[in-house]
Structure formats: C-alpha cells, structure tokens
Amino acid sequence: MALEDIVHLEVLGMLEEAEIRAVGNRPRQYYNAQNVMEELSDHQFLKKFRLSKALVQELIDVLTPYMIEPSRLSSIPIKIKVLTALRFFASGSYQLDIGDNRSSALSQPSVSRCIAEVSNALN
C-alpha cells in the first residue's frame, strides 16, 4: 500500500468521525405545526385529524392553560402535542406509526406522553 493510499484512508476516517460528531450534536428539530395547518388543504386536514383547522386552533387555545409549557423537561410545543394526540385519536393507530409520520417525527414514548398530557387536559 502506497503512502498516498494510507493518507487517503486516514483522511476518510477523520471525515467519518467529524460527520458522526456533527450529526450527534444537532439540536432536536420538530416539525412546524403551523406549516401543517397551512400546507394541508382543509379537506386533507379534516381527513387526517377529523377536525377542521379552526376547531383544532380553538381546541389548542382552550387546552393551553391546562398543559405543560415547553421547557427543558418538555420541549415539545403544545401545538405539536395536541396535533399528535389528535392524529392518534383520529386514526386509532399504533403510537409508533404516529411518531414515524414525517410531519411529527416523534419517538413512541414522546407520542405516548403527548397523548397522556392532552387526555388529562381534556378531562
């Protein structure tokens, strides 16, 4: 193996390590709930969440005082929590499927916490 090949392998290894570190240090990114309400047509939104956009916004406004504000322990915005729970209620599907949805991208435990918090706020 030539010295040039060894240098190339070493550089590739360093690049891979830098990429792994960069990916690991990225902040969490949640979908923008406002975009979902804007991007989907009224018909698509109604089909996905089983409620109109206006009713969902009203529900978010009513539930907000009863929910945990985003902080270090709960960094998921209230709007996302409500939309995630509504998506689960509308589909009756598994929590993992709801979290894997491109519009929410939440883990199953996060989906479970969203559902529990919204359910408690509804009660």
Q: What are residue 118's phi and psi, to 5 degrees? A: -65, -40
- Taking the chain (123 residues) in runs of 10, the rounded mean pLDDT of each run is 75 76 59 73 90 95 92 81 90 65 72 93 93
| Residue of 122, 116, 64, 123 lying closest to 95 (CA atoms) | 116
Tokens of 27: 């902040």
Q: Which residues contact 68 (CB under 8 A, 6 or more apart)?
A: 74, 117
pTM here is: 0.66
Query: pLDDT at position 85, please?
Result: 92
Return the structure tokens found at 118: 């919204």
Q: pLDDT value at position 12?
A: 78
Distance CA 27, CA 106 (A): 14
